[in-house]
Amino acid sequence: MKLNLLLVEDNQDLAATIIDYLELENMFCDHAANGVAGLQLIKDNHYDVVILDVSMPRMDGLTFCKILREQGVTTPVLMLTARDTLDDKLAGFNAGTDDYLVKPFEMLELVARIQVLCKRNNGQGHKLSLHGLEVDFSQKLAHREQRKIQLSPSGWILLETLMRHSPSVVSRSQLSHALWGDNMPDSDALKVHLFKLRQQVDKENEIKLIHTVVGQGIAFNSEHL
């Protein structure tokens, strides 16, 4: 199966080596030398995986990843970095990366990690089970304690954004962007959609999963933050 990847890496020699090797594995890379250019490519194209360097000019990889997730983009991200401390790795995961590969690395391991991320995203990545809510986003099926939940198209987008960020708080601007992109309506529209989602997910259950965190946004969690 052909895979379309985005490589965001400012080291031109390393980028060329990665691109040439992955092409032999039927993986084809678009390349951006910094995060700003990478965000534009993601806006215009679909990718199976983003391979992301951390230390780059104009916009570093952590900032790039945070913006990506704030925009509601769920494409798997594999970070490449020479930083190998636990704090560095945690910073990457907190920014929204899915996997972490420390430089220098073997190309075979890079290929293996890309394949795992693709399988996860195309299969089990469409299914989430959190706090008793089971969801299959590809089939648009949701159950909570054997109760079937019917959602609108907007409800599915909001629920997926909240669940994939759980237990972190998702800002209202992030949710609005996930629904409407740059053409955001007034704030009341988001309130209406969130109210409907709460009614569908939480109304019949004592334990609430969708919480407002004052001054921050909305969180999906079994406990009020």
Mean pLDDT of 155-166: 86
Mean pLDDT of 190-201: 94
Which of the listed residues 62, 92, 122 is the one where a domain comes to its end? 122
Compute CA distances 213 → 137, 154, 166, 172, 218, whole Å: 25, 21, 13, 10, 6
Mean pLDDT of 29-45: 90
pLDDT over 50 at 124, yes or no: no
What letter represents residue 200's amino acid? Q
Regarding whether 48 and 151 lie in a shared domain, the answer is no
181: DSSP letter: T
- Tell me if the pTM is above 0.95: no
Q: Residue 167 sits in a domain of what CATH number? A: 1.10.10.10
**Domain around 158:** 127-220
Q: Residue 67 sits in a domain of what CATH number? A: 3.40.50.2300
Regarding whether 116 and 73 lie in a shared domain, the answer is yes
Regarding whether 142 and 116 lie in a shared domain, the answer is no
Residue 160: predicted pLDDT: 86
What's the number of domains the chain is made of?
A: 2
Mean pLDDT of 177-187: 76
The answer to the question of residue 37 being in a domain is: yes
Regarding whether 14 and 35 lie in a shared domain, the answer is yes
